[in-house]
Amino acid sequence: MSIVRKSLAMIIILAAASQLVPYGKDHTNPPVVREPAWDSPATRDLVKQACFDCHSNETVWPWYSRIAPASWLVYRDVAEAREHLNFSQWQGGAAKGEKPDRVTREVESGDMPPFQYRIAHPHARMDDATRKALLQGLMATMKGSATR
């Protein structure tokens, strides 16, 4: 057997074995505890379109999140995102730990949604007008401390 065939066989075996690793396979979404008091339904729709898959308990898990090693990366990204900001476990605004300035800065700079997310999710790509509407809605929503 040639080195190329042996290498290919080894890659296939490793890829198959990696599917047995349970990390990243938990696709449950915890219950929605509380959302912000959105300034408008349009703001919620924009946030849902661009942010909810990572920053809420309403994640829509894509097909590739079931295949290692992509499952490991997706699971880690969602867990970290929920830890930083979770619109489904809203604490009540800046006074309770949410950081409006940081959130708006990340969106304004184009860092959120992340590039790799926008590649796989065209619906999360925003033109300047959409980004501006999202920023205005987020600022108005996050400055309030009420919840729904």
Mean per-residue pLDDT, 74-92: 90
Give the pLDDT band (50/70/90) at residue 39: very high
Element holding 141 (H helix, E strand)? helix 128-143
Mean per-residue pLDDT, 66-73: 86
- pTM given for the model: 0.79
CA 7/CA 81 separation, integer angstroms = 37
Instruction: Give the CA distances from residue 43 to residues 8, 64, 86, in Å, rounded to whole numbers and listed in that order.
Output: 49, 29, 16
| 41 has pLDDT over 50 | yes
| Strand-pair partners of 34 | 89
